[in-house]
Amino acid sequence: MCGALAHLVERFHGMEEVRSSSLLRSTIINLMVDFYMKTILTGIRSNSVLTLGNYLGALLPMVRLANKHSKDSQINIFVPDLHSIISDVDGDLRENIIRTIKYYLAAGLEINENVHIYRQSYVPAHSELCWILNCVATMGETSRMTQYKEKSKGQESCNVGIFDYPILMAADILLYSATYVPIGEDQFQHIELTRNIAMRFNHKFGEIFTVPAKTADQVKFMEVSDGIRIRDLLNPEKKMSKSTKAENSKIMLDDDPAKAAKKIMSATTDSLGKVKFDMFNQPGVSNLLQIEALVNDVPLQDVVSAWAGTTRYGDLKSKVAESVSKMLVDFQAKMTEISDKQVCELLEKGEKYANGVANAKLLEVQRAFHLR
Q: Is residue 209 within 8 Å of 174, Cβ to Cβ?
A: yes
Give the residue, chosen from 38, 69, 83, 250, that forms a contact with ligand TRP under the rule CB under 6 A.
Answer: 83
Ranges within 186-215 binding ligand TRP (CB under 6 A): 187
41 binds ligand TRP (CB under 6 A): yes
Stretch that binds ligand TRP, among 15-23, 97-105, 167-175, 333-341 (CB under 6 A): 167-175
Torsion of CA 366, 368, 370, 372, to 10 degrees: 40
| Cβ contact 300:293 at 8 Å | yes
Using CB under 6 A as the binding rule, whether residue 183 contacts ligand TRP is answered as: yes
Q: Report, in angstroms and rounded to the nearest whole number, the Rg of the chain calculated over CA atoms.
A: 22
Closer residue to ligand TRP, CB minimum distance, 172 or 351 = 172
- Residues paired with 122 in a beta bridge: none
Strand partners, 73: 38
* Part in contact with ligand TRP (CB under 6 A); list of ranges 39-47, 88-96, 219-227, 290-298: 39-47
Least separation in angstroms between residue 69's CB and ligand TRP is 16
Looking at residue 73, the DSSP 8-state letter turns out to be E
Q: How many residues in the chain?
A: 372
Tell me how far, at minimum, the Cβ of 145 lies from ligand TRP, in Å. 11
- Taking CB under 6 A as the criterion, the residue among 37, 65, 145, 169 binding ligand TRP is 169
Phi, psi at residue 231, to the nearest 5°? -95, 160
Residue with smaller CB distance to ligand TRP, 64 or 262: 64
What is the distance between the alpha carbons of residues 167 and 132, in angstroms, rounded to a whole number? 10
If one asks whether residue 218 binds ligand TRP (CB under 6 A), the answer comes out as no
Q: Is 360 a binder of ligand TRP (CB under 6 A)?
A: no
Q: Please, how many CA atoms are within 13 Å of residue 355, restricted to the half-sphere of its CB? A: 12
d(CA 33, CA 94): 31
Which stretch, 98-106, 152-160, 166-174, 292-300, contacts ligand TRP (CB under 6 A)? Answer: 166-174
Window of 1-9, 169-177, 205-213, 307-315 that interacts with ligand TRP by CB under 6 A: 169-177
Q: Work out whether 45 is an interface residue with ligand TRP (CB under 6 A).
A: yes
Active-site residues, by number, are: 151, 239, 242
As measured in angstroms, the least distance from the Cβ of 110 to ligand TRP is 20
Compute the C-alpha angle 70/224/174, nearest 5°: 55
Strand 38-43 versus strand 73-79 pairing type: parallel
Binding site for ligand TRP (CB under 6 A): 41-45, 80, 83, 169, 172-173, 181, 183, 187
